Every structure is written in structure tokens, then in C-alpha cells.
């Protein structure tokens, strides 16, 4: 839920990166942190385990700029991908304005993507949200690895509603900005229609 | 989906309530945060505080604690207290919509902060009820600022930022 503060002249929007464990959600956000101009970003917060797996979330605030006198900020969050952290995952979805689903392209992770998508659907219900009620982007990550599913196959199984999608190699930054750019624009466009 | 819009008059009233709470408790700083972790406003000494991160973590803290409450059959723990060596944090839910955070040191006490925060919470709750009423009655909407020109300019900024 975007927060428009007319008094302090700020607009804040929340984008969540979702997907199965080790699909590259944190890698996406870390790449963004490392490449945007330092003055436009806040601190990157990672609530992770000792083994660097996301325990609760990663958080990165980004200042888009001042538009018509309003400071526009995006708050990027990742959820923990591991199955048993579902309670945490559900919490992060609260107040979300847009979602990036990061799918792992490797063939042996195909089922994990499907399971994660189903899990997302269930968690949205607990916030009275539906899959088609907000901007949704797919990112097919790890396109550089040898055993990967063709994009057509991923599209036909995961992206049945025809949401925008991007191929990515997040570890090299490929597709990371394209994905976020599209997600940010869709979120802002939705603001004009609400 | 819809968002929350805060307008000048409401903001002034909220600010006044928070300032009153700060004076009555000698708190160092007070923050008002929405449940998604976005800062609504703050008063007091926040210049050395990363308030964006603080807001995000406070909301997460509250959300996680609410789930803990549910696991033992409680609806939620209405307030939280974190005690430090020099500074303490008191966190309380206002009207199930926003989170009030009070940062205080030894110049104040938890009891005083809790009593005063409860009083001010009622005021803030009323202000928010009014905001929701105004929105339901068709008050100013986001479209008054977020129009096609706004979107175009924002998209240009986004393109520049993510080159």
C-alpha cells in the first residue's frame, strides 16, 4: 500500500522480491545496491543466518528523485525463500505495491518454482489480495547455467496470466535493472489509476 | 489496492500530538510508522538515526511479535519494550493501523512513557479515523498529484537511475 504524505511531500512504494530458496532474490537487491549512485540509496539491511541465507528479509530504500515537488521512494524487500520460513514470508507481503517473482531456471528447480508460486498465492489470501490485483513481474534467473529450462516452458507453466518477464543472470547484473525498472514503472502507473 | 494519503491539516494534528508526547515524556525521539514499515512522521532528535531502516525494522519487529502472540493464543502483544544500556525503545500499536515508537533514555521511565503513549494513541487514532472518513467521502485522492505528467517524469527518473 503506497503511502502518499502530502505534508512532507513524499510518496513511498514497496516492491517485494519473491521466489524459491537460492533463486537469487538477495543477489538482485545486492546488485542494485552496488550499482546505483550512493546518494540515491539507503542502507542495505540483511536479516540473514550465519550462512548468509535470508532469515527474515533484505531491505533497500531507493530515492527515485523529486517529481512535481514530491520525493518518490521505493522500498525493496526480499522474502526468505526456504520453505520453513513461511511465517516471515507472509509478513513481508503486507502493504506491498508490486512483486517480482524470481524463478530459478535450472531444470532441477522447476518444481520449486511452482511450489513457491502456489505458496505466494496462499499467502496473498491472508492479506485479502489476489494475484492479479497488483503489478507482477517474472524474472527467469540463472540463464547462464548449463541445465536450464527453455523460457517458453517456464512461461507456459509459471506465467499463465502473461505478466511481463525478463531473463536474467543476477550474479552478473544481467536483467536486474530491466526487471526493477519495469516493476517500478508499473507500480507508479497504478498510482495514477487509484 | 489504494494507498493512504495524508493531508496538511491531519499531518499538523498528528505532529502536535507527537510533540506533546515528547514533552510529557522527555523522550529523545518519537516515530509514527505504518504497518508496512514506512515512516509517516517523526519528532525529536532523529538526525543521527537512519529512520528509514528504523521504520522498516520496527514494523517487522511488531509483525513478528504478533505472530509469536498468535502461537500462544493471543491476538497480539499491544506493546513492546526493548531495554538498552543507554537508550530504550517502546513500541505500541495505534488503532491496528499505525505503530508508535518512543525512544527514551534514563530521563524518563517505561511507566511514564506507557501511560502517556496510551493517552496520545487515542488522539492519533481519532485523527486517523477522520482521515479514513474523509477518504470514504471522496476527499482528495492520489490523482490530484499523481497524473500522467507525474508518471512521465517519474519514468524518466527511473530510466536515469537504472541505466
Task: For B40-84, write each residue's pLDDT tens digit.
Answer: 899 999 998 999 899 989 988 988 898 889 899 998 888 899 999
Tell me if B2 sits within 8 A of A98, measured CB to CB: no
pLDDT higher than threshold 50 for residue A6: yes
Q: Is this prediction's pTM over 0.90?
A: no
pLDDT tens-digit profile of B114-161? 999 999 999 999 998 888 787 777 655 555 677 888 889 999 999 999
pLDDT, one tens digit per residue, over B83-105 is 999 999 999 999 877 999 999 99
Residues in A touching B38 (Cβ below 8 Å): 3, 12, 14, 75, 95
Range of the domain at A97: 3-193
- DSSP conformation letters of A117-148: HHHHHHHHHTTT--TTSS-EEEEEE-TTSSSB
- Nine-digit cell at A93? 507481503
pLDDT at B5: 61
Residue of B nearest to A189 (CA): B151
pLDDT one-digit tens code per residue, A128-175: 998 888 999 999 999 999 999 999 999 999 999 899 999 999 999 999
Rounded Cα distance, B65 and B59, in Å: 10
pLDDT at A27 over 80: yes
The pLDDT score that the predictor gives to residue B146 is 76
pLDDT at residue B3 in the model = 53
Rounded Cα distance between A159 and A167, Å, is 13
Interface touch B41/A133, C-beta < 8 Å: no
Q: What CATH number should be reported for the domain holding residue A17? A: 3.40.50.300
3-state percent helix, strand, coil for chain B, nearest multiple of 5: 50, 20, 30
- Contact indicator for B74, B48 with CB cutoff of 8 Å: no
In sequence order, the 6+-apart residues with CB closer than 8 A to the CB of B16 are none
Tell me the pLDDT band of B113, cut-offs 50, 70 and 90: very high
Residue B2 has pLDDT above 50, yes or no: no
Residue percentage of chain B with pLDDT more than 70: 92
Distance CA A80, CA A20 (A): 8
Predicted confidence band at A177 (pLDDT cuts at 50, 70, 90)?
A: very high
Structural domains present in chain B: 3-161 (3.30.450.30)
Q: Does the CB of A114 have a partner CB in chain B at under 8 Å?
A: no
Q: What is the pLDDT of residue B1?
A: 39
Question: E-assigned strands of B35-70?
Answer: 39-44
Higher-confidence residue: A101 or A9? A101
Q: Give this complex's ipTM.
A: 0.86
The gap between the terminal CA atoms of chain A, to the nearest Å, is 11
d(CA B29, CA B42): 7
What is the structure's pLDDT at A184? 95
Interface of A with B in 74-113 (CB under 8 A): 75, 87-88, 91-92, 94-97
Contact A2 B57 (CB under 8 A): no
> Is A68's CB within 8 Å of B38's CB?
no
Q: Residue A29 pLDDT more than 90?
A: yes
Overall domain count for chain A: 1
- Residue with the bigger pLDDT between A64 and B146: it is A64
The whole-chain average pLDDT of chain A stands at 92
**Residue B41: closest CA among B65, B7, B90:** B7
Nearest-by-Cβ selection for A3 from B3, B10, B150:
B3
Distance CA B23, CA B127 (A): 20
CB contact under 8 A, B162 and A180: yes
Put simply, the answer to whether B11 touches A8 (Cβ < 8 Å) is yes
The whole-number pLDDT of residue A61 equals: 94
Q: What is the mean pLDDT of residues B6-28?
A: 90
Amino acid at each position: 500500500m503506497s503511502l502518499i504524505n502530502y505534508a512532507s511531500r513524499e510518496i513511498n512504494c514497496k516492491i517485494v522480491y519473491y521466489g524459491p530458496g537460492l533463486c537469487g532474490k538477495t543477489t538482485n537487491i545486492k546488485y542494485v545496491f552496488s550499482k546505483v549512485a550512493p546518494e540515491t540509496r539507503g542502507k542495505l539491511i540483511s536479516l540473514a543466518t550465519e550462512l548468509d541465507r535470508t532469515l527474515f528479509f533484505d531491505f533497500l530504500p531507493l530515492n527515485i528523485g523529486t517529481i512535481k515537488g514530491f520525493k518518490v521512494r521505493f522500498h525493496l524487500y526480499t522474502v526468505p525463500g526456504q520453505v520453513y520460513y513461511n511465517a516471515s514470508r507472509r509478513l513481508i507481503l503486507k502493504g506491498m505495491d508490486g512483486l517480482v517473482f524470481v524463478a530459478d531456471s535450472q531444470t532441477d528447480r522447476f518444481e520449486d518454482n511452482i511450489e513457491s508460486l502456489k505458496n505466494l498465492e496462499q499467502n496473498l489470501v491472508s492479506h485479502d489480495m489476489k494475484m492479479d490485483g497488483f503489478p507482477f513481474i517474472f524474472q527467469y534467473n540463472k540463464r547462464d547455467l548449463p541445465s536450464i529450462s527453455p523460457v517458453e516452458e517456464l512461461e507456459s507453466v509459471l506465467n499463465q496470466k502473461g505478466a511481463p518477464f525478463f531473463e536474467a543472470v543476477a550474479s552478473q547484473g544481467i536483467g536486474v535493472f530491466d526487471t526493477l525498472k519495469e516493476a517500478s514503472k508499473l507500480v507508479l502507473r497504478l498510482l495514477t489509476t487509484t | 489496492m489504494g494507498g493512504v494519503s495524508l493531508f496538511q491539516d491531519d499531518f499538523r494534528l498528528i505532529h502536535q500530538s507527537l510533540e506533546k508526547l515528547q514533552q510529557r515524556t522527555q523522550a529523545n525521539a518519537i516515530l509514527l510508522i505504518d504497518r508496512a514499515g514506512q515512516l509517516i512522521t517523526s519528532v525529536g532528535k532523529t538526525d543521527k538515526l537512519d529512520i528509514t531502516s528504523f521504520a522498516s525494522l520496527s514494523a517487522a519487529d511488531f509483525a513478528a511479535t504478533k505472530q509469536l502472540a498468535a502461537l500462544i493464543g493471543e491476538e497480539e502483544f499491544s506493546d513492546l519494550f526493548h531495554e538498552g544500556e543507554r537508550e530504550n525503545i517502546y513500541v505500541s500499536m495505534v488503532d491496528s493501523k499505525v505503530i508508535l515508537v518512543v525512544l527514551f533514555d534514563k530521563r524518563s521511565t517505561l511507566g511514564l512513557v506507557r501511560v502517556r503513549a496510551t493517552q496520545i494513541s487515542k488522539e492519533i487514532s481519532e485523527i486517523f479515523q477522520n482521515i479514513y472518513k474523509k477518504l470514504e467521502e471522496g476527499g482528495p485522492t492520489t490523482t490530484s498529484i499523481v497524473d500522467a505528467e507525474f508518471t512521465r517524469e517519474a519514468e524518466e527518473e527511473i530510466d536515469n537511475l537504472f541505466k
